[in-house]
Structure 1
């Protein structure tokens, strides 16, 4: 049985129609998870396919919301147009699925979400870049993007409205990213807030409790 299928997208920015290879959910096999819940995949790596990039204008976003994004206001449109025109001059995208190409696409999605003031998705884009660098064994680049993801999660938590259902995930990553980066006191503070606010029915609260206990023992 094939692991892939093609989906047609319409770019919400320039209107171009194009097809993109997607991976069937049943083809994704997770054999382990890292400290920050990064999946270790057995075969197909879905991170290679998650970001959809328009081949015409380079508008990029996660596949789940690519066609539903609303671009509000002329100023936002101008910023996006300038950003994407500059990106197209600097970034050469190839029609292959690998770590290097996925990193480029997540970088583009991070820039787009930044213009759209969607900080949570900027943070997730940077986190996925860090994970891809981890798979490549590039620790300095991984650290740089973990720091960028942490900064965006902090800003999202402080300044943005977010769904209550997102709370455990946000607090978990504020804790675990600080832990990975060696900020023990900050990590403990966020874990304690996570455990005060949410019970262990949440996966993030359950794992957060484990990480908090590991932190206290170390």
Structure 2
């Protein structure tokens, strides 16, 4: 009997150049979550079976990089700008094989640039910045982890103020929780307290009771830290 490979090829179509390509994904049976950090960063065993490594799709022909979270809609003029600023200077290169953490970080950075040109939602940018921070954490690169957490905070703040998370899988409570936790991790304890309080205040109008309980526990810990 043939042993099943951990990775399989997902068929993809590039929305910019129409190229058909494949991108690796991890079979669900091989994904084993062993721990989740307080900022929701998942840890998997073994580490190379981390689905975050394969979240971004990169067209090998034109370089357009995206995820399934991207909107299929392109505002007027954005395709042309992507073709000018990404595709015209792209040297055909494939990320369609097994990826290292460094490979994955490069795919996210490409996707962030494409998302900015495409005018994607703030909540989409925030999620990508946060995943990049997590990947740098796995490399124990605290400086870059902090840098991308701050970028994520900015986009989550924009997402919260514009409510552009509506219609996505990310709820208001989750946005507030992440703003609180990331603020604390980047040294902004006052902002952390403000956002944790908002999560707790909203407990009666959310079904995400686990998120509220996590916020209560974290706020208790943070208040003890501040009092010290």
TM-score of the superposed pair, with normalisation by structure 1: 0.89
The count of corresponding residues between Structure 1 and Structure 2 is 214
CA distance, structure 1, for counterparts of residue 56 and residue 175 of structure 2: 21
Task: Supply the distance in 2 between the matched residues of 1:161 and 1:143 (Cα, whole angstroms).
Answer: 24
Q: Please give the alpha-carbon distance, in whole angstroms, between the structure 2 residues aligned to 1:204 and 1:93.
A: 38
Which sections of structure 1, spanning at least 5 residues, go unmatched? none
Any stretches of 5+ residues in structure 2 without a counterpart?
A: none
1:207 to 175, 193, 214: 214
Quote the Cα distance in structure 2 between the aligned partners of 1:87 and 1:211. 46
Specify which of 16, 19, 22 is matched with residue 16 of structure 1: 19
RMSD, matched Cα: 2.1
Between the aligned partners of 1:191 and 1:31, the Cα distance in structure 2 is: 26
**Cross-structure match for 2:128:** 125
Q: Does 2:108 align with 1:106? A: yes
> Partners of 1:217 and 1:87 in 2: how far apart?
52
Q: 2:28 aligns with which of 3, 10, 25?
A: 25
For residues 73-117 of structure 1, the C-alpha deviation after alignment (integer angstroms, 9 at most, x for no partner) is 1x212222233137636x966544111110011111112222223
Name the SS of the counterpart of 1:58 in structure 2. coil
**Which shows bigger deviation, 207-216 or 98-107?**
207-216
Q: Aligned in 2, Cα 1:3/1:93: closer, same or farther, shift over 3 Å?
A: closer
TM-score by length of 2: 0.86
Provide the residue aligned with 1:216 in structure 2: 223
CA contact (8 A) 2:16 2:64 kept: yes
Counterpart of 2:78 (choices 67, 73, 76) is: 76
Deviations 1:121-159 (A, max 9, x none): 111111111111100011101111111111111111112
SS where residue 127 of structure 1 aligns? helix
1:137-152 matches, within 5 Å, as 137-152=140-155
Among candidates 180, 189, 194, match of residue 185 of structure 2: 180
